[in-house]
Structure 1
Amino acid sequence: MKGKIVILLALFFSAFALVPERVITGTVQDVHQLPISDVIVSVRGGKAKAKTDSAGKFSIAVPVYSKMLVFTHAGFITNEVKLTSASTMSVTLMAGQAIPTEEPVARDQQSESLVLHSFSKMAAAPSSVLQGNVSRARPNTENYNPINENGFQFTGHDPVTTFSVDVDRAAYSNVRRFLNAGQMPPVDAVRIEEMINYFDYDYPQPTGTHPISIHAEFTNSPWNDGLKLLHIGLQGKTVSAENLPASNLVFLVDVSGSMMDENKLPLLKQAFKLLVDQLRTEDKISIVAYAGAAGVVLEPTPGNEKMKIKEALDNLEAGGSTAGGEGIEMAYKLAKENFLPKGNNRIILATDGDFNVGISSEGELLRLIEEKRKGGTFLSVVGFGMGNYKDSHIETLADKGNGNYAYIDNIQEARKVFVQEFGGTLFTIAKDVKIQIEFNPAHVQAYRLIGYENRALKNEEFHDDKKDAGDMGSGHSVTAIYEIIPVGIKSSFLSQTDALKYQKTDASEIGKTDEMLTVKVRYKNPDNEKSVLFDLPVKNVSKAFSACSQDLQFASAVAEFGLLLRNSEYKGTSSYHHVISQAKAAFGKDDEGYRSEFVRLVKTTQALDGRKETARKE
């Protein structure tokens, strides 16, 4: 009898030992489609385990009855993927906290439980970003300056409006990052002028003595019946690559602990390598890294020594607190020691903006940047990451440093900033560029500038050469859109005010003229502190929207999208459906596909925000 029992037990256990297996292969990537190495791939409730290689690829043999694979990495949110009949899969992980699932992998192995426990102590992603069965993450600490949307101004009271140009494009790529992650962006992250200026427009190149040309169009507002749109485009002179001055660049790289995520330091390295590929022998580059302390990673090196520069980038590792102030001082010191009187002297700061050690106050830091700017060394800032991203801080640093501000959410955006727009990103053709518009009350009852809230200037600052303003790089364009209430149109946007007693506000008293407004532009040449003024009168001639340029049509679609994202009180009859149809009709050449990508992004937003869409009138 005992012998029979032994035989039965042997047969029973051998049956489990002979359970057939199948092999599952695949790749693991982050939200930017970059491969993730060293991801632990395991069977939920089982012992099978594998790890991804440097290309993010894995292969794991699992019992045929297995139902779930678990993907775990210290810098990412744990993801569980249900197995199907397919033998290959592609898995995406979100940057953030690796949290054990309700049924930890291989619960009977104490060492693995300890590993999972240690994962739960890691830095987390935004609280609203969920993946798989994970529902816990640290609060989102991203920070944005508040935006109080521009309202309509009565021309009879305030006929003049003044603002600084803005060629920053960071808001668009940052908004895109939120939407691609299935999340509506914070309202204050939506700076409409930066979304409009993200795209290239076919404005005419300057032909006269000025490095900037002005273009203007006037048409009907697509979203507010009876109102008009004024579209103003500035085009900076394009300087060919061979004629660009030599560069003295200092990469200032944040390698603090908050930069560990795949969409921070690893993406930063890839982005800067693209820039290195554009450098010439006459260009020089240095690298300063900062965390608990700052240090020189690469002494000034000619641009043709690309392998040496890239090796220095590869050796960067994240860890420690953030001595941003000390790093900036060291970077300026290097820039000064290698200053090129006729060249491009620029620091490129790459960070998530989370400064917490170094110069004692933000005011002191900004004064340092302003002082160095006057000496001819400019500061551009490139933002990375999510969850603790400090947009408000980064934007201010770039503004004070006479530089650009870009947000890089993927390698394609890095290519756009550092390859396609290389000249515009690095080489200034006009600095402290200001725009002032005087409206004629005979034709314009009220006006509203869409966006540029944080670029507004006092009218008297237009003539003040000490007042800092935005800069334009080689080939850069700047677009501004005003919404206008013509004389004689009644609008709910206009509040009741008393007529001025001592000013001429009646159109009949002003005198006949067909000029609707005059655009004035004031700028400084890069090596001069004395500004130059020129202007363009614009006649009161309105064209049908369909007869306007594709630039106007597409820019107005982007503006309308921004109004929807902000849920603006001025959105009128705006809708995602209208934005999509309007943008698709104005693609133009779209060689790089940015305009078609915009339409896909609007469709994504429409799906996320569908309830609001159905409540709006077309």
Structure 2
Amino acid sequence: MKTTCTKAICLALFLISFGFANAEVLSVTGKVTDASDNSPLVGVPVTIKGTNIGTLTDANGQYSISTEKGKILIFSYIGFITKEIKATKSRIDVALQPDTKALSEVMVVGHVPQKKTTLCGSIAGIQVQRGYYPPPVPAYDYNSEKNEEYKSFAENRFKDAKADPLSTFSLDVDAASYSNIRRMINLGQKPEKNSIRTEECINYFSYNYPNPTGKHPVNILTETQSCPWAKDHLLVRIGVKAKEIPSDNLPASNFVFLIDVSGSMGSANRLPLVIASMKLLVNNLRDKDRVAIVTYAGAAGEALPSTPGSDKQKITEALNNLQAGGSTAGGAGIQLAYKIAEKNFIKGGNNRIILCTDGDFNVGVSSTDDLESLIAEKRKTGVYLTVLGYGMGNYKDAKLQTLAEKGNGNHSYIDNLQEANKVLVSEFGSTMYAVAKDVKLQVEFNPKYVNAYRLIGYESRLLNKEDFNDDKKDAGELGAGHTVTAFYEIIPVGVKNNYGSVDDLKYQKTNVSAATSNNSNELMTVKLRYKPIDSDTSIKMEVPVMAGDREKKMSEDFAFASAVAMFSQLLRDSDFKGDATYDKVVELARKGLGNDPQGYRREFIRLAEAAKQLEK
């Protein structure tokens, strides 16, 4: 009997081995493009039909996957028609057709979107061959939207150039708002009004600004055009570019991953996505970099002592061992993370805490005011704070935005692995290494040409005019290679202000003559202050904007950035949206496509087209 069983087992093993030996394994590579313009598509899921094995296209639309010859490969992407192709050769290039019909069928009935599967779940459950695992996208609970927290704010209004000629604000390097509202639109949901911060939408994208060449680590440029949504107005763009530093030349980094492992992080698009995100960063660490891991749930603890970047396996194993459960002692976690960062401080290096959370702190120091005070005190140590937000339905955007502002860092929202790659790999220098701190802008308007003006966005970053020269006043930081853009909408002299003009004052002179404005041909003057990373004394830069600049041809960057500004104002139903429409947004954005190697600008156009359908 035993001999018979042994023979049977041997025969089965032989047949299995024979089957595998005769299954031809094929390594397939190729490029996935948009059939409408032949541009590469980034983050396209490529899966083997009938399995959860797959991969994603890279920044150039390239992919590589191993499969049995004859198996079916599925190419699916939001906004495009899915293709199925049999793997019969080693090179398969694919051009996906835009699925305009699917987008036009999306409609909202009450608060429950129909056909939402058309717009989400494109990477659900894919086990990626490269060694990381995009988490599945769970069904969205629209009733849980009320649990998300956003800081309410009033939109900037027009100010009189005679009575209030100075506009002052801190430069913002955050981009969380755009990826967050993209998540909502892709799920068939119109974004909550206070989730839309125009400056973060504009600054999600990079622009072709010239690199600084002089003694300053930053460069200023300006451009003036007619306002796309108010033809009688002017639109002035102020662009700031920080100097680029090759990744290999960046100073050594002392990172502390501060990871929320509380019960609220248990869903697939939270802790599993955090782990996958951090692995992307770990894969790009240099030997001179170091990483410690601090976790917090009911209490805070050290999951990994500071470890050199050369020991990637040890860091990855520590990440793989993380599990969610318990309450959220975020304050204790922050305190421990700063303690460990200070203990391993690298003088002249990049000392930074990377906080990964949905923002739901509920044990110990948890109120926004208390956390703000804690972070404001800790930033004096020279340790910066980057905040990565995850999750939906319970996302505490307001709290995370405050932490990033007070922690001399930045705030990003990670809704998928492609976004994690953008923030932590493609934009590593600008996200993780500051080249200038406490960066402020102050603009003085010439009432000879300017009747009224308004700053578009930056509502949470406004400063008093006296703060510009006060080196004790905290402001934003600029990372290596970062571009920051701000827009001013201007009502020229001679054009009526329909947004709250006032009568001339009775007891003081308010009319402006050519003599009082010194016959200047300047429309305005842009002043910028920054501190070198190793100094507490600011340096001022100054650039005039000439009134005649409006006659110049519109640049591609101006066209695209102003399209994003228009898009944001439409989503907010702004009082100042003028005659803006989604069709104008798309038309203007197409003029500004330019060189779009990562496909982010093309993705924006598809997003604007989807948002238009949500308005119907």
- 1:4-19 matches, within 5 Å, as none
Counterparts in 2 of 1:247 and 1:462: CA distance versus 1, 3 Å: same
- Alignment of 1:519 with 2:487, yes or no, is no
Equivalences for 1:10-89 in 2 at 5 Å?
Answer: none
Per-residue CA shift, 1:16-46, capped at 9, x if unaligned?
Answer: xxxxxxxxxxxxxxxx99999xxxxxxxxxx
Contact 2:386 2:409 in 1 (8 A): yes
Within the candidate set 526, 536, 547, 2:543 is matched to: 536
Q: Give 1:559's aligned residue.
A: 565
Give the structure 1 partner of residue 233 of structure 2.
227
Residue identity in the other structure for 2:458 = Y
Instruction: Return closer, same or farther for 1:553/1:288 CA change in 2, 3 Å cut-off.
Output: same
Alignment partner, residue 208 of structure 1: 214
1:565-576 mapped onto 2 (5 Å cutoff): 565-576=571-582
Who is 1:365 aligned against? Answer: 371
User: Which amino acid is the alignment partner of residue 426 of structure 1?
Assistant: M
Scaled by the length of structure 1, what TM-score is found? 0.77
Q: CA 1:316–1:338 in 2, change beyond 3 Å: closer, same or farther?
A: same
Partner of 1:151: 157
SS in 1 for 2:231: coil
Which of 585, 597, 605 in structure 2 is aligned with 1:599?
605
Query: Would the alpha carbon gap of residues 94 and 203 (structure 1) be closer, same or farther in structure 2, given more than 3 Å must change?
Result: closer
Q: Distance in 1 between matches of 2:369 and 2:508?
A: 43
Matched, 1:306 2:316: no
Counterpart residue identity of residue 560, structure 2: F
Identify which of 430, 435, 448 aligns with 1:442: 448
Partners of 2:391 and 2:180 in 1: CA distance: 9
The answer (yes or no) to whether the contact 2:45–2:122 under 8 Å persists in 1 is no
Distance 1:592 1:500, change over 3 A: farther
Q: Which residue number corresponds to residue 432 of structure 2?
A: 426
**Structure 2 partner of 1:356:** 362
- Does 1:508 pair with 2:511? no
Aligned-residue Cα RMSD (Å) equals 2.5
2:268 equivalent among 262, 267, 272: 262
CA contact (8 A) 1:216 1:538 kept: yes
- Partners in 2 of 1:358 and 1:157 — Cα distance? 47
- How far residue 498 of structure 1 moved from its aligned partner, in angstroms, is 2.7
C-alpha separation in 1, matches of 2:265 and 2:45: 16
Q: Deviation at 1:364? A: 3.2
Could you tell me which residue of structure 1 aligns to residue 277 of structure 2? 271
Provide the C-alpha distance between the structure 2 equivalents of 1:424 and 1:386, rounded to a whole number of angstroms. Answer: 26
Matches within 5 A, 1:309-348: 309-348=315-354
Distance 1:139 1:568 in 2: 22
Any idea what the Cα deviations from partners look like across 1:477-503, whole Å, max 9, x if unmatched?
Answer: 110000000011113224333336434
Instruction: Give the whole-Å Cα distance in 1 for the aligned partners of 2:480 and 2:462.
Output: 24
In structure 1, distance between residues paired with 2:282 and 2:145:
36
Mapped to 1, the partners of 2:556 and 2:52 lie a distance apart of 47
1:377-392 mapped onto 2 (5 Å cutoff): 377-392=383-398
Displacement of 1:261 = 1.2
- Give the match's secondary structure for 1:522: strand
SS at match of 2:346: coil
User: Secondary structure of 1:507's match?
Assistant: coil
Could you tell me how far apart the structure 2 residues matched to 1:93 and 1:575 are?
29
Residue 508 of structure 1 aligns to a residue whose secondary structure is coil
What's 1:84 paired with? none
Identity %: 51
Question: What are structure 2's unaligned runs of at least 5 residues?
Answer: 1-42, 56-113, 125-137
For 1:374, the aligned partner's letter is K
In 2: Cα distance, 1:279 partner to 1:505 partner = 61
Structure 1 stretch 200-209 or stretch 367-376: which is displaced more? 367-376
- What amino acid is aligned across from residue 534 of structure 2 in structure 1? D
2:458 aligned residue:
452
* Alpha-carbon distance between aligned partners in 1 of 2:405 and 2:286, rounded to the nearest angstrom: 28
- Residue aligned with 1:564, SS: helix
TM-score (norm 2): 0.77
State the structure with bigger RCO (CA 8 A, min sep 6), 1 or 2: 2
Does the 8 A contact of 1:347 with 1:380 survive in 2? yes
Distance in 1 separating the partners of 2:307 and 2:155:
46
Distance 1:415-1:91 versus aligned 2 partners, 3 A rule? closer
Q: Report if the CA contact (8 A) 2:144-2:394 is conserved.
A: no
d(CA) in 2 for partners of 1:225 and 1:245? Answer: 48
Q: CA deviation at 1:361?
A: 4.3
* Aligned amino acid, residue 145 of structure 1: K
Shift of 1:436: 0.2
SS in 2 for 1:162: strand
1:125 and 1:138 in contact (8 A); partners too: no
What CA deviation, in whole Å up to 9, does each residue of 1:295-316 have, x standing for no partner?
1111110011111111111111
Aligned residue type for 1:541: G
Tell me which residue corresponds to 1:478. 484
The question of 1:160 aligning with 2:156 is answered: no
Distance change >3 Å, CA 362–CA 34, structure 1 → 2:
farther
Given the alignment, which residue of 183, 186, 191 partners 2:192? 186
Cα distance in 2 between the residues matched to 1:582 and 1:360: 44
Using the TM superposition, give the Cα deviation of residue 541 of structure 1 relative to its aligned residue in structure 2, in angstroms: 1.4
Q: 2:505 aligns with which of 484, 496, 499?
A: 499
Question: What is the distance in 2 between the residues matched to 1:90 and 1:604?
Answer: 9
Deviation at 1:54, TM superposition (A): 8.1
- 1:522–1:542 distance in 2 versus 1, CA, 3 Å: same
Offset, 1:92: 4.3
Letter in 2 for 1:148: A
In structure 2, the residue matched to 1:77 is: none
Structure 1 pair 93–524 and aligned structure 2 pair: CA distance change class (3 A): closer
Write the letter of the residue equivalent to 1:523. Answer: Y
Match of 2:300 among 272, 294, 297: 294
Kindly tell me the number of residue pairs found equivalent between the two proteins: 499
- Counterpart CA distance in 2 for 1:534 and 1:492 is 34
- Aligned equivalents of 1:464, 1:322: Cα separation in 2: 37
